[in-house]
Structure 1
Amino acid sequence: MWWFQQGLSFLPSALVIWTSAAFIFSYITAITLHHIDPALPYISDTGTVAPEKCLFGAMLNIAAVLCIATIYVRYKQVHALSPEENLIIKLNKAGLILGILSCLGLSVVANFQKTALFAAHVSGAVLTFSMGSLYMFVQTILSYKMQPKIHGKQVFWIRLLLAIWCGVSAFSMLICSSVLHSGNFGTDLEQKLHWNPEDKGYVLHMITTAAEWSMSFSFFGFFLTYIRDFQKISLRVEANLHGLTLYDTAPCPINNERTRLLSRDI
């Protein structure tokens, strides 16, 4: 059996591969059509102009669904492993909410281009990165609380380093982006897709875009740490029947139906 056939390990793998493909394909298309500069554009710039915006939006919507599925499976796994730990239960629920909000923001980014609806696009980006960063820190704390009986120390340290990487990138992007859009470097910067080294604010622009890509890579690395955990879990779907027919409302003793969902048992 291949590693990606064990449990639900294919979920985080598919999430990272699919999202990376969305960035790469839209970037290549935008570069080929000369819609953006090759040197470190904003991720959103690679999906701003047609036809790459259509590809970017469709693939990121699917990525958001994969991300929600991954986050939910992680939530159910932690819930099953620590049924009586109150702090872990609260952190686990908080992680689920933060993760879903981050995925919602990703869908907003995918469907509202910055040149079309800048306010909506920025709101989606802030929701994605802020909630995503908090989700990583919550999961890192959970990894710490669950060691060494459930989680190994190595997994905790890897996730901690990735969370710190994400935090540093987010802080750098926030500071540089705020200074860049303060008004001292021109107006309508959100409409600008081509930058020259002679442009005012070019250095800040490059730092901001580098921080954005760096932050995305930290997310990829974090979800890849789920692969080993997900090899040891599967989900089942259960149908509870409350009548002999679809029209019968009276309760009756009917056996429940259980079906494997995507994989085999733990």
Structure 2
Amino acid sequence: MWWFQQGLSFLPSALVIWTAAAFIFSYITAITLHHVDPALPYISDTGTIAPEKCLFGVMLNVTSVLSVATIYVRYKQVHALNPEENRITRLNKTGLVFGLLSCLGLSIVANFQKTALFVVHVGGAILTFGLGSLYMFVQTILSYHMQPRIHGKQVFWIRLLLVIWCVVSALSMLTCSSLLYSGNFGSDVIQKLHWNPEDRGYALHLITTAAEWSMSFSFFGFFLTYIRDFQKISLRVEANLQGLTLYDTVPCPVNNERTRLLSRDL
């Protein structure tokens, strides 16, 4: 049995591979058609103009679905080991809420591109990266409490390093983007897709885009740490038939009672 066939480990694997493919395919298409510059464009800029816009949106919507499934399975795994209402259970529910809202933000980013509704797009990005970072932080705390029942100490330290990586990238992106879009570098920087080294704010633009890609890679690494945990989870489906065959029907008590009353009236 291959490693991705063990338990539900295919879920985080598919999530990371599919999301990386969405970024790579849209990036290659945008670069080939000269819609963006090859040197570190924003991730959303690679899905702003058709045809990569359609590819980017569809693939990110699939990513949001895979993310919901992965986050929910992780929630059920922690809940199964701690069914009682305690601090771990509350943290687990909080992480579930953060994760689902982050998936909602990802779907908003996929459907509202940067050049269409900038405010909605930024709101979706804040939900995705902001609450996604909080989700990683909560899961790291849970990892500390759940060792060694699910994993060893090394997994906790890896997740902690990934959270620190994510926080540093997020602070860098937030600081530089706030300076870049403050209005001191012109009003066209929001819709700008092509940058030259001599443009004002070019250094801030590079730092912001590099921080955005760096944060995305920290998310990839974090979900990859779920693979070993998900190998211990099995999925079983039970089917209960109400009749001898699929075509048998169960009599409805309401209809039987109505038929009895009609017969008595006649």
TM-score w.r.t. the length of structure 1 is 0.90
- The 5 Å alignment of 1:1-266 reads 1-84=1-84, 86-237=86-237, 245=249, 248=252
1:63-112 residue CA offsets vs partner (Å, 9 max, x unmatched): 10001000011001111112236111001111111000000000000010
Alignment size in residue pairs: 250
The amino acid that maps onto 1:58 is: V
Quick check: 1:30–1:36 contact (8 Å CA) kept in 2? yes
Partners of 1:87 and 1:236 lie apart in 2 by 29
Quick check: 1:162–1:222 contact (8 Å CA) kept in 2? yes
Q: Give the aligned partner of residue 264 of structure 2.
A: none
1:25-70 residue CA offsets vs partner (Å, 9 max, x unmatched): 0000000000000000000000000000000000000010001000
The amino acid that maps onto 2:101 is: L
SS of equivalent to 1:49:
coil
Q: Describe the shift of the 1:65–1:235 C-alpha distance in structure 2 as closer, same or farther (beyond 3 A).
A: same
SS of equivalent to 1:166:
helix
1:200-226 residue CA offsets vs partner (Å, 9 max, x unmatched): 000000000000000000000000000
Partners of 1:203 and 1:124 lie apart in 2 by 25
Q: How far has the Cα of 1:242 moved from its partner?
A: 8.7
Q: Give the share of equivalent positions with the same residue, in percent.
A: 82
Partners of 2:103 and 2:251 lie apart in 1 by 38
Quick check: 1:242–1:249 contact (8 Å CA) kept in 2? no
Q: Highest Rg: 1 or 2?
A: 2
Partners of 2:202 and 2:249 lie apart in 1 by 68
The amino acid that maps onto 2:45 is: D
Partners of 1:239 and 1:155 lie apart in 2 by 37
Partners of 1:241 and 1:134 lie apart in 2 by 43
The amino acid that maps onto 2:188 is: D
CA RMSD of aligned residues (A): 1.7
